[in-house]
Amino acid sequence: MGQHFIGMMAFHTGMIMQYDMVPLAASVSAAISGSFVSLYIVGR
């Protein structure tokens, strides 16, 4: 996970903060997939 996500989870405000799991999982999987594809292309 990124430092921003961890930092935002540690940040405390006076209100409730939560993340939607579907967009979060889609974002993480897109980042991992994009990294895999780019490293595959560079490594050929």
Instruction: State residue 1's pLDDT score.
Output: 56
Instruction: State residue 18's pLDDT score.
Output: 80
Residue 37 C-alpha from the chain's centroid: 17
Q: What is the pLDDT of residues 1-44, one digit of tens each?
A: 567 777 777 877 788 878 789 998 999 999 999 999 999 999 99
The residue to which tokens 């990294």 are assigned: 35
Instruction: State residue 2's pLDDT score.
Output: 67
Provide the whole-model pTM: 0.58
Instruction: Report the b/e string of 4-43 with b at 16+ CB within 10 A.
Output: eeeeeeeeeeeeeeeeeeeeeeeeeeeeeeeeeeeeeeee
Instruction: State residue 26's pLDDT score.
Output: 95
Instruction: State residue 33's pLDDT score.
Output: 98
